[in-house]
Amino acid sequence: MEDTLIREGDNLDITKERRNATFRVKKLAAFIHGGEEIVRRRKEIYDAVEREPRLKNSVPIEFLAREERHEEQARRAVAMTDVATDIIDGSDMFGEGIYYQSLIMGRDLHSLSLHYSMVLPAIQNQADDEQLDEWLGPIISRSLISTYAQTELGHGTNLSKLETTATYDPKTQEFILHSPTITATKWWPGALGKSSNYAIVMAQLYTNGKWHGPHPFFVQLRDAETHMPLKGVTVGDIGPKLGINGSDNGFLRFNNFRIPRKTMFMKNAKVLPDGTYVPPKHAKLGFGAMVFVRSIMIKDQSMQLGSAITIAVRYSAIRRQGEIVPNSGEVQILDYQTQQLRLFPQISRTLAFLFAAYEVKDLYLRVTTQLQEGNTELLPELHGLSSGLKSVVSWETAQGIEQCRLACGGHGYSQASAFPEIYSYAVGGCTYEGENIVMLLQVARQAFLGLVKIVSSIRAGTAKLSLLTSYIAEKQPKTRSKFTCVENVSAEDLIADFEYAAREQIFYAYDLLKKNETLYSTPEEAWNKTGIELCKASRLHVKAFLVRNYFNYVSKCNDSEIRPILDQLGKLYALDGISGGGVWFTRRGYYSDDQMATVRQGIYSLLEKIRPNAVAIVDAFDFSDRELQSVLGRRDGNVYENLLKWAQQNPMNRSEISTAYIKHLKPMMTEGKSKL
| pLDDT tens-digit series, residues 387-397 | 899 999 999 99
Instruction: Note the pLDDT of residue 285.
Output: 57
Q: Decide: residue 339, CB within 10 A, 0-12 exposed, 13-18 middle, 19+ buried.
A: buried
Mean pLDDT of the chain: 92
The per-residue pLDDT for range 103-121, each reduced to its tens digit, is 999 998 899 999 998 899 8
The H or E element spanning position 551 is: helix 531-554
Residue type, 534: L
Residue 308 CA from chain centroid, whole number? 14
The answer to whether 209 touches 215, Cβ cutoff 8 Å, is: no
Q: If DSSP codes are grouped into helix, strand and coil, which group holds residue 394? A: helix
Whether pLDDT at 286 is above 60: no
Instruction: Note the pLDDT of residue 364.
Output: 80
Q: If DSSP codes are grouped into helix, strand and coil, which group holds residue 133? A: helix
The per-residue pLDDT for range 230-249, each reduced to its tens digit, is 999 999 999 999 999 999 99
The per-residue pLDDT for range 304-334, each reduced to its tens digit, is 999 999 999 999 999 999 999 998 899 999 9
Report DSSP state, residue 663.
I
Which residues are annotated as catalytic?
Answer: 433
Structural domains of the chain, with CATH: 144-278 (2.40.110.10), 287-616 (1.20.140.10)
Contacts of 158 (CB under 8 A, 6+ apart): 438
CA distance 351 to 349: 5
Instruction: Note the pLDDT of residue 446.
Output: 63
Half-sphere CA count of 157, side-chain side, radius 13 A: 16
The answer to whether 381 touches 364, Cβ cutoff 8 Å, is: no
DSSP of 78-119 = HHHHHHHHHHS-TT-IIIIIHHHHHHHH-S---TTHHIIIII
202: closest CA among 232, 228, 177, 227?
177
- The answer to whether the annotation marks 670 as part of a ligand binding site is no
pLDDT band at 478 (very low <50, low <70, confident <90, very high): confident
CA distance 569 to 613: 11
The answer to whether 236 touches 193, Cβ cutoff 8 Å, is: yes
- The answer to whether the annotation marks 151 as part of a ligand binding site is yes
CA distance 619 to 621: 5
Residue 7 CA from chain centroid, whole number? 34
Instruction: Note the pLDDT of residue 269.
Output: 94
Instruction: Note the pLDDT of residue 284.
Output: 59
% the chain with pLDDT above 90: 77
For 272, phi then psi, to 5°, come to -75, 165
CA distance 483 to 595: 6
The per-residue pLDDT for range 20-75, each reduced to its tens digit, is 999 999 999 999 999 999 999 999 999 999 999 999 887 788 889 999 999 999 99
pLDDT band at 448 (very low <50, low <70, confident <90, very high): very low
